[in-house]
Amino acid sequence: MRGEFDKSRVEVMVQRRGRIIQLDVLRAVAVLWVIVFHAGDPPPNVHGSVVGSVMCRLMSCGWIGVDLFFVLSGFLVSGLLFQEYKTHGHVRLGRFLLRRGLKIYPGFYVLILGTVLGIWLFGASALQERKLSLARVLTECFFVQNYLPGLWIHTWSLAIEEHFYLLLGLGTLALIRLRPARPFDSIFKYFLVIAVLELTLRVLTSVFLTPFGFYTHCSPTHLRIDALLFGVVISYYSHFRPAALEFVRRFRLRILALSATLLSPSLFLRQDDFWMHTGGITLLYIGFGGVLLVAISLPFNANLSLLAAAPAYVGLHSYSIYLWHLPVQVFGLPLMSRLMGVQFGYFEYLLLFIIMSVATGIVMSRAVEFPILKVRDKLFPSSAPLPMAAPKQVDRDEEKGSVRGRMPLFLGKEDRCKV
């Protein structure tokens, strides 16, 4: 029937490049938000005007861009497993983890190698207190930098992602073996249990572990993985119970208003505020879940697609942009300042930071990430085939939902994740 969520509302329109515009735009928002957050606070004179005050508020809460990445990642990566199960009746955990690793590891380990070389060339002081040591390098290499000090302050989220991939794969296998006929029917109940448990752990951590520390209160996997699981819940409903999401089409504006309300405390509360890093984290992923639901329910609009082309292109390269934006800040911007012989003002610094981060991310995507994905897809093709099997419609697995033509967002091998 026309208008059903699983027929027309789950379908997404794409650019000529074969990208899912809605999700690319959300990825661009997330990564640019993180970049401006890491740019630092604007000078005091900017806060004086209304526009300046609003801008400062939006920049100060840019850390929540990571929470948007978490919801997107849970939604997209679980979709790969759900589609494989729907197609074959089973999932191959080893193949799933291998494909994930070939997506994440090459670009990441190039970053670590580049960091070691950068410190060797520019001196350990370039990373301030994060001086080069074997322990810090190993912490990064084994993805435990969300529990122990590593080389960079942004790679903690990648550690959570890695832990999530493993737990998601194992959990999916367990559910299939326990209930072969309908393994995922209780997934929302499991999510509720885990969400309540993690919220309780966040509160207990805040009460009994003082003073506040980012690596004790915000970055541990056991305090943050519920955000990714919320994305899994949305993916489950889109795959197995799409009729339950039909309400989104009718109440888009209300859902967006509610999402904005849930996200708004981050404009006024710092991350180290008790309420923000406990219940506030829960509200963040619920709010971003609402934004995601609205995004995937949007019908095709050619004019909006053209307007979204630029941010969608940024979203296409968001993983490498995220990886390299802090090296750009630590190594690239000071080098640029010395070469030009000028001291950048704040807005010049901010603009240059954004441009150089995006440009570096695009170059590294083309040089490392995408070539590896091409090789991976030849050697280890996805087990979740496209529902419309035309060879020319297939793009790289890791381009998070890359498709050509009209096809269901949640049903294809092209449901990709690159955060």
97-153 pLDDT, tens digit each: 999 999 999 999 999 999 988 887 776 555 554 567 889 999 999 999 999 999 999
Residues 6+ positions from 271 with CB-CB distance below 8 Å: 63, 214, 218, 277
| Domain interval for residue 277 | 65-296+321-344+357-384
In a domain, 28, yes or no: no
393, pLDDT greater than 90: no
Can you tell me the mean pLDDT for 342-353? 92
DSSP one-letter code for 408: E
In a domain, 405, yes or no: no
pLDDT at 399: 40
In a domain, 32, yes or no: no
In a domain, 350, yes or no: no
CA distance 167 to 186: 17
What is the percent of the chain where pLDDT is above 90? 68
User: Which stretch of DSSP H or E encloses residue 12?
Assistant: strand 11-12
In a domain, 44, yes or no: no
In a domain, 259, yes or no: yes
In a domain, 389, yes or no: no
In a domain, 1, yes or no: no
Query: Would the pTM count as exceeding 0.75?
Result: yes
Cis before 42 (ω within 30): no
| Cβ neighbours around 44 below 10 Å, total | 9
pLDDT at 41: 83
pLDDT at 416: 37
- Summarised one tens digit per residue, pLDDT across range 227-244 is 999 999 999 999 999 999
Instruction: Specify the number of domains making up the chain.
Output: 1
The most confident of the ranges 34-48, 80-94, 159-173 is 159-173
DSSP one-letter code for 407: E
CA distance 286 to 296: 16
